[in-house]
Structure 1
């Protein structure tokens, strides 16, 4: 269906808003650098299109009518939308980004993954800028939903409460036990039996609240391990374990870089694995830079001690690419 509003022109809206803001046609013409006659023509054309009187010209200075006030609000929205569209498409037209790619990373994976990613981008896409934010998983999910992040690396368990997120599984890694060398667990065989660990206080690396401990990604079998401490920071977990205050339970990558003389890191006797995935908001188009980071993250080769994504069963409720 044809609408008279399809004939709206941005320059007419700009001239109209200049009169609204300045309070007169003369001041609007001065601001725009146009002859007053051109401003009057633009406003007259807009009044013809809308079929309403937008200004009361019998008053000095001119007053905006009620219809003019309503049109002004719509004109600002239209021009803002056109401006956003122009800036967005400049990304593809010029090949340059207006802002960095915003990547959220769970602290458990950042120490190993970020150097690999940033080195790859520096070599292959030096014009791509990335800002990295370490967040707990619920905060990352909320930031993705609000479009405050473009991509994030997070544990695949517990799954996001936000249903609009898409996921690509990246890798699985074993669950490890961390304790000081003189700890009683040191005398036990490999892997460390989960029943033996349950006899000690436990600190867990997690992005969930203690009340959700049963949903922790380590899948602590039969809930026999009850964390006495939970932290989002691997360094905090390692420090508590090194002090002998609790046995640390964490994914393998979170224990990388551990001082061999201060801590012992061994596999936990469970078949549970810690899955890590790449998440983004469905329906939001990627800019070229976001696409490059997305592709780079999916192609990064995990360390030999973790299992690549082809071995991961992806949750059916996620959109997989």
Structure 2
């Protein structure tokens, strides 16, 4: 009869991910699967047959191996942090020696790499929104309504994709994000991610116009009515990304900054939208939106509730200021104090 110490690395990491699936969103579980699959393959290449063979030296060898492949420091951090979780699990079931998890070196990410520097710039976002609001042809279009909601709520891709028609209240003026894993639209933070987010009247009007005009009256495979619909009902995650890329292209409101002719530019196609140097993914919209909330003086605790992120995470990752912006913040009301008069 075999015991936990006889587990192969492959069986161990699969068992661990299966145990965590009830706690993780599908996206997080997939990330764990990918990171640990790499570790399992490395163990097989090294001839490591059982997890009981693992020791501090081998774990350090794996860290050096991954670092030597030139991956980003944030990627290495996440991979080693996930590996530490696996080793802690193996400790708990008696598959490896106690204390082995403390020998997993999770590298610190340099502070200057912790912020998401790529974002949808405030000036670009506002210019696109003003263009749509003043343009009869595009007012209330899918791309317009999507960008208005994404920018004003700072919501994640999955949350935007999961919105139903019933989650939009035009009378009170809000959208409600609801965790519905049983029908394919979980929120990243599950029930803790549920919230109502107030919308400005002008944003409500845009969403109203979209529902009355551009929105397809489709249902998804579970019989739900998505707020933002595709030809097949609820859009897939990749479709939402493409909407984001196309909605943020600068040629929407002006000439192409890269010298392309919009009429024959391949970036404007569904399959190449992500290649436009100036287009932005949903997470970049979220980053820009959170920074905009901060710049507009919205209290940090209010922003945190609207976008479903802790104040600490907002400070570290999302409040991205340029060096010029930082100088202006430092200068602020204090420069007069340095006057010789």
Fold shared per TM-score above 0.5: no
TM-score computed with the length of structure 1 as normaliser: 0.22
TM-score computed with the length of structure 2 as normaliser: 0.21
Higher RCO, Cα 8 Å, sep 6+: 1
Higher helix share: 2
